[in-house]
Homo-oligomer: A and B are copies of this chain.
Amino acid sequence: MVESQDQGPYYQLNDTKNPDLLRERQSATFDVEELTQFVFGGPNSYFNVNRRRQLTRLAYAHPVHDTHLPIEYLDADDYYSVLIRKSFIAIKEAERYGITDRKLLGWFVSVFTNGRFMFGLHTSMFLHTLETMASDEQQEKFLPLARSFQIIGTYAQTELGHGSNLQRLETEAVFDINTDTFVLNTPTITATKFWPGALGRSTNYVLLMAQLFTPDRNHPAGLQMFFVQIRDLNTHEPLPGVELGEISTRFGHEVGDNGYLRLHNVRIPRNHMLMKLAYVDEQGTFHRLGDPRLLYGTMLATRVNLCAYFSILLARAITIAMRYSAVRRQGQNPNGKETLILDYPLQQEKLVPCIATNYAFFYAFIKLENLRREILDSDTILFELLPELHAVSSGLKAYMSSIGERFSQTCRVACGGHGYLVASGIKGLNNQLDAGCTYEGDNSVLYQQTARYLLKVMQQLDEVSEMETESSIKFLYSTTTPPATIINLDDYCRLFECRSQMLLKSMSNRLSESEASTYNKFSKNSIELVHISKAFIETVVLRAFYDGVRKASEHKSFGPVFEQLFHVFAIHTLRNSATDFIRLKLLTADQIYQLETFNLPDMYARLRPNLISLVDAFDFHDNELNSCLGRYDGQVYEALMERARLNPTNRHKVHPVWKSIKQETKSKL
């Protein structure tokens, strides 16, 4: 069992070795731990920081972490071996400590494996899909094996020629009435399953998404999910008819196990099609059961979790960049001293909007998670709210990954050349956020889905009478008067809500006036539709952050700091869509110029003494950051030199290629 000690912060003020960084920490106007507890604390909080600290300490205490070089120095094969071994140890350790709650377990194995748990798709999508889509009988048979890792699976959906467009998947499962089996094939090169995680070298089962053909070979009965063994459980060798391997090298997924899979007449028993929502009988007749909307559950939960994940990735990047900026000196001030780069307004302009946005992200995620819990975790799923959850989670996933990608890149630039080292930690975070712009739905596609939902809402505005107070679309039902000036924080929210409403109304009118087909209308206006979705998501994030600021206002020490962050987020977001606000006569160009040129830098100055404590409050362990630049103690240069000296190529006094070149030169003389 997890001990109840070790719930306190990882570091104390006097762990700080760099004097500049110490000065920053001493200048804070609030207590970091108090803020951490406010945002991430409490057993009912999603983040449950105290428990998290216990788990993190347990994970890092294991001796296996001292047995290998920094992972950037491992070659592809060693890298993979280390992570597979760590993943298995993590599972055993979690068992030993009795960590069974799925979220806590997920954290533990992730921390244990340096964020690279090899069986993440097994414990999330594979298990979850079995639990929701397998029949009771199937669950009884498959789940114990899967939960005990005797079989390890992944989710094989994406094909080489087909991404998010499921309807066009080519992999086929043809029912053979004579043998009571399905015959599985990837009939073309573009049908090759391509990208599934852990498929290339690790899993022995897949859940295969395939077009079902029954009873007629020529007419598909739609997409179904099949439970398919691909490797021998004893030898780990691919089974007959199964061709598989690792795809070519990816950035960001250095982990190295995205696979490809080709199937040649592989047969599986009829009862290996997941049968909770549909089944095929012995005569080959296809039957539907249950509500197919249940299918969305896994996808929705995944998307919500991604929003937490992206917020954490960005929080790591800004922690690193901010701390480094409080250590690094550059340029000369009139006193003849070098300036701390965090004192440059241009550096603040890069980093302060990022930290403000990051706090906004956490509050937006918390709101989304509450909505998810309300809809999916109740005794009966609230189907009528699913479309809202789908729209908001799609839009937020797109927004957070793309803004996160952008800001993490800015953090890289803010760290100058050293930010470019893998040892900075930032480039890896940037790659992960970049990947997030594409997986689980391309951002452009997701934004359009949000837009479709919003336009449907606009067409039904008169019909609905009651509405949840917390609903993200509530403002669309009221007539908000735009504020003439910005005095209260709520004025920003109202400005954004007016803008969103006006954009939606005008688009809705334009679409209903148009005579074109729905497809053509949407296609022709797709660029604007994406813009309108973003505008809506901005209201959601701003309103969620506003609620957080109101709660914080009860805390004298950091209440005002939250207000300052809110100002920064609101103005920064607003200026990036200035044309909207001006064109819709919500603000004048002069007002925006004032906000951007005077209010924003003024907020930077007010926030200046608290910038380090604001990132300290994210409460990362140094091992999680794995960054020479972002260490809590500020010993940046020592860490960079140490990491350089560890580079395995430096074991050669003279690199072998030079020895042979020198040899060749000599023998020619």
Interface residues of A (CB under 8 A from B): 70, 72-73, 75-77, 80-81, 84-85, 88, 158, 160-165, 167-168, 189-190, 192, 194-195, 200-202, 234-238, 245-253, 256, 260, 329-334, 338, 344-346, 349, 405, 409, 412-413, 416-417, 419-423, 427, 431, 434-435, 437-439, 442-444, 448, 517, 519, 523-524, 526-528, 530, 575, 578-579, 582-583, 589-590, 592-593, 596-597, 601, 628, 637-638, 640-641, 643-650, 652-659, 661-662
B158 x A417 contact (CB < 8 A): yes
8 contacts between A and B (CB under 8 A): A80-B655, A81-B656, A190-B637, A246-B650, A253-B420, A344-B526, A417-B438, A579-B593
Kindly report which residue of chain B lies nearest to residue A164, judged by CB atoms: B330
User: Per DSSP, are chain A's interface residues mostly helix, strand or loop, or mixed?
Assistant: helix
Q: Smallest CB–CB gap between A539 and chain B, Å?
A: 20
Given A421-B249, A590-B583, A658-B201, verify A76-B649 contact (CB < 8 Å).
yes
**Which among B85, B420, B526 is the interface contact of A252 at CB below 8 angstroms?**
B420
Contacts of A75 in B (CB 8 A): 75-76
Q: Smallest CB–CB gap between A356 and chain B, Å?
A: 16
Contacts of A590 in B (CB 8 A): 583
Q: Smallest CB–CB gap between A573 and chain B, Å?
A: 14
Identify the interface centre among A167, A583, A644, A652: most chain B CB within 10 Å of its CB. Answer: A644
B647 x A333 contact (CB < 8 A): no
Contacts of A654 in B (CB 8 A): 235-237
The 3 closest A-B pairs by CB, nearest first: A583-B589, A81-B657, A245-B650
Contacts of A234 in B (CB 8 A): 662
> What CA separation (Å) do A413 and B31 show in the bound complex?
41
- Name 18 extra pairs, CB < 8 A, besides A238-B653, A260-B641: A80-B655, A158-B417, A164-B330, A167-B332, A194-B644, A195-B417, A201-B655, A236-B659, A246-B649, A246-B650, A248-B628, A251-B422, A251-B427, A252-B420, A345-B523, A345-B524, A413-B437, A417-B439
B420 x A72 contact (CB < 8 A): no
B417 x A649 contact (CB < 8 A): no
Given A84-B658, A237-B654, A417-B163, verify A248-B434 contact (CB < 8 Å).
no
> What CA separation (Å) do A416 and B440 show in the bound complex?
11
**Which among B330, B434, B517, B575 is the interface contact of A409 at CB below 8 angstroms?**
B434
A416 x B434 contact (CB < 8 A): no
A236 x B575 contact (CB < 8 A): no
Kindly report which residue of chain B lies nearest to residue A443, judged by CB atoms: B413
Q: Smallest CB–CB gap between A511 and chain B, Å?
A: 14
B647 x A247 contact (CB < 8 A): yes
Q: Smallest CB–CB gap between A73 and chain B, Å?
A: 7
Q: Smallest CB–CB gap between A179 and chain B, Å?
A: 28
Q: Smallest CB–CB gap between A83 and chain B, Å?
A: 9
> What CA separation (Å) do A658 and B238 show in the bound complex?
13
**Which among B252, B582, B601 is the interface contact of A527 at CB below 8 angstroms?**
B601
Contacts of A416 in B (CB 8 A): 163, 438, 442
Contacts of A77 in B (CB 8 A): 649, 655-656
> What CA separation (Å) do A248 and B649 show in the bound complex?
10
A526 x B345 contact (CB < 8 A): yes
Contacts of A162 in B (CB 8 A): 330
Kindly report which residue of chain B lies nearest to residue A523, judged by CB atoms: B345
**Which among B413, B579, B649 is the interface contact of A589 at CB below 8 angstroms?**
B579
Kindly report which residue of chain B lies nearest to residue A647, judged by CB atoms: B246
A583 x B593 contact (CB < 8 A): yes
> What CA separation (Å) do A661 and B201 show in the bound complex?
13
Contacts of A158 in B (CB 8 A): 417
Kindly report which residue of chain B lies nearest to residue A238, judged by CB atoms: B653
Given A165-B338, A437-B413, A527-B345, verify A249-B189 contact (CB < 8 Å).
no
> What CA separation (Å) do A345 and B650 show in the bound complex?
51
A249 x B417 contact (CB < 8 A): no
Contacts of A346 in B (CB 8 A): 444, 448, 526-527, 530
A248 x B589 contact (CB < 8 A): no
Contacts of A421 in B (CB 8 A): 247-250
Contacts of A519 in B (CB 8 A): 333-334
> What CA separation (Å) do A661 and B652 show in the bound complex?
32
B579 x A248 contact (CB < 8 A): no
> What CA separation (Å) do A584 and B514 show in the bound complex?
36
B644 x A247 contact (CB < 8 A): yes
Contacts of A655 in B (CB 8 A): 77, 80-81, 84, 201
